Chains A and B, each alone.
Chain A
């Protein structure tokens, strides 16, 4: 474990970001793949991307990504409260991301429930969860880009008293 500017650097600070970005990219890609756009707009014609036009494949990958994300979120939350919170606090940009991720997760859970054979939702509620899931993801992408440009990270170092 190394020390930078008097603070301990945890391994999670190095591998969380790439893992999070890869997972979100896959979820975004397969999420948008639920709409019939990749074949229409030739993206699935690109060698190696034909699977994007397979709705079952993108659906399975989206579900697998959600499974990994669920585990990842819980791991990240526990490690933050158990280890990192001693030195860092969450930035306001982190709170924005967390709220959006929570909303995406909640609407996603309802979408998964709706897909189970034993559950029937009303049409308006089904539409609401579909569209809000998509909108929250788009907000997360927009805010993610804005925060990246403005260099607003997740953690802020707590200054020594």
Chain B
């Protein structure tokens, strides 16, 4: 992905596309396709995870070439309230207990009671890959986007690092690295602040028919991947037959990462460390639901305007008739 569109080609392409949009009609592009049932989802069975971090290491290995290589010194930020986010030193790159620009998957731990017995559970955390991702919907540049197979990616060559995606993400997943990306070529001190990074679920490996690294390298087969319908059906089967709780089926309107847990997620949520780079297990309402409803209302608005205008013309015609009648 980072090599598909360079900064120069981005600017040239954007301007050309904008001009083309201006000069011609706007046909629906061939690439605009409706979502089908082939969105891929993963199911993470918390009961199987042993916290070995093989997934973490696999993720770091295969995605190393996507990690930021910031230029230093960083541009002076204006105004001063804008803080740099730098994980590029040796210590920062080694952080594994939270999400960072160099660590897109981390293991969370929770000490809970399971069937009256105290247990320590571990589980991988990363981007949930929402079905209707606010990060992609609200990204002002189109840098964050959802692929047809349900993966949400952030385009490192386009991202300005404004952190809007993190602010609107219910789980605060994307993480910023300053000193890299498009903003350096535009107004480095005044606009932008780097690039946001997060799990892209190894979209490039999936495109080549391979498995995401975290799934392939897991010695306990904690995760499975498949069409979302099948993944949801499997989660329901486990819920019915083995009494697990499900997370992700309805959160934020549905995500393409589902978890099953031996304890309710409310319990799990209370037992985990939460904070920057450490996502919660709260219930999450569909963040884009209101916007989607308003979008539907846009279809009605022209008809309302038309009805009002026709009423106005009718009233005007009646008034003219009255005035004409009075004159005669």
Render B288-321 as a binary contact track against A, CB cut-off 8 A, 1 for contact. Answer: 1011101101100111111011101100100100
Q: How far is the CA of A115 from the CA of B29 in the complex (A)?
A: 16
Judging by beta carbons under 8 Å apart, are B290 and A60 in contact? yes
Stretch of A16-24, A37-45, A90-98, A143-151 at the chain-chain interface: A37-45
CA distance A1 to B320 in the complex (A): 11
Q: Is A4 an interface residue (CB 8 A)?
A: no
Query: Which of A121, A127, A130 lies in contact with B13, CB distance below 8 A?
Result: A127
State A125–B29 Cα separation when bound (angstroms).
Answer: 8
Interface assignment of B327: CB less than 8 Å from any CB of chain A: no
How many residue pairs, one in A and one in B, have C-beta atoms under 8 Å apart? 175
Q: Which of A1, A66, A71, A82 has the most CB of B within 10 A?
A: A71
With A74-B302, A117-B35 known to touch, is A79 a contact of B313 (CB < 8 Å)? yes
User: What's the minimum C-beta distance from A14 to chain B, rounded to whole angstroms?
Assistant: 14
**8 Å CB contacts to B: which residues of A64-88?**
64, 66-75, 77-79, 82-83
A48 within 8 A of B: no
What's the minimum C-beta distance from B27 to chain A, rounded to whole angstroms?
A: 10
Q: How large is the interface on B (under 10, 10 to 19, 20 to 34, 35 or more residues)?
A: 35 or more
Interface code B125-162, partner A: CB below 8 Å = 1, 0 otherwise? 00000011000011011100111100000010010001
- Asked if B95 is at the interface (CB within 8 A of a chain A CB), the reply is no
Partner-binding segment picked from B49-57, B163-171, B206-214, B226-234: B163-171
The interface residues of chain A lying within 8 Å CB-to-CB of B32 are 113, 119-122, 125
**Are the CB atoms of A117 and B292 closer together than 8 Å?**
yes
A78 to B305, CA, bound (A): 9
Q: What residues on B are CB-neighbors of A136 within 8 Å?
A: 22
Q: Which are the 6 A-B pairs with shortest beta-carbon distances?
A: A128-B17, A122-B31, A74-B305, A78-B309, A71-B305, A126-B142
Residues on A facing B (Cβ under 8 Å): 1, 34-37, 40-42, 55-56, 59-60, 63-64, 66-75, 77-79, 82-83, 103, 106-107, 109-110, 112-132, 135-136
- Given contact pairs A121-B145, A128-B18, a sample of 5 additional A-B residue pairs in the complex whose CB atoms are under 8 Å apart: A68-B301, A71-B301, A115-B295, A127-B14, A131-B17
